Amino acid sequence: MMAKSETKRAPRARVKNDQLEAERIVSGMMSRDLFSQWLGLTVVDVRPRMATVRMTVRPEMVNGFGVVHGAIAFAVADSAFAFACNTHGKVTVSIENSITYPIAIRVGDVLTATAESESESHRLGYYRAVVKNQKDEVVALFRGTAYKTKTEHPK
């Protein structure tokens, strides 16, 4: 039988290990993710099944209507989603996504996307990402479904 102090330490150790594993995986992913680097993304927070990224919109990201191309908001949300759904150790890939754009994004806006798990099964994960500008206005709402492969992330 375990002493009470051992019982209390075991969950904390697992939580700490899960956090370290999430940070290691996302750091490795970001180091190889040339597109997220091109966007100018910075990972500002990562936890198991959650990630927050930030970037500043540049002039070359504007569409023919003078507002930021929807693909930019999608890409920011998608990167946050990719980081969040891979934090558990298995290589996880997107199989379906959707996005809504409630407010136009402008050059110079600072976008922050936070993706979090809403529900999971053995092989599928369901995530939501919210993208906000520097005024804390929601500029995009993203939902994604991820498939967990059997492949482990490199150590």
Neighbour-count burial of 135, counting CB atoms closer than 10 A to its CB (0-12 exposed, 13-18 middle, 19+ buried): exposed
Yes or no: say if 91 and 150 are a contact pair by the CB < 8 Å rule: no
| Domains, the chain | 12-152 (3.10.129.10)
For residue range 89-137, list pLDDT tens digits in order. Answer: 899 999 999 999 999 999 999 999 999 999 999 999 999 999 999 999 9
pTM of the model: 0.88
pLDDT mean over 39-56:
97
* Mean pLDDT along residues 68-82: 98
Q: What is the pLDDT of residue 155?
A: 81
Q: Is the pLDDT of residue 87 over 60?
A: yes
Query: For 59, which DSSP code?
Result: G
The answer, yes or no, to whether residue 60 has pLDDT greater than 80, is yes
Phi-psi region of 108 (alpha: psi -120 to 50; beta: other; left: phi over 0): left
Nearest residue to 142 (alpha-carbon basis) of 111, 106, 109, 108: 111
Q: What confidence score (pLDDT) does residue 50 get? A: 98
Q: Which two tokens stand for residue 61?
A: 């990201």
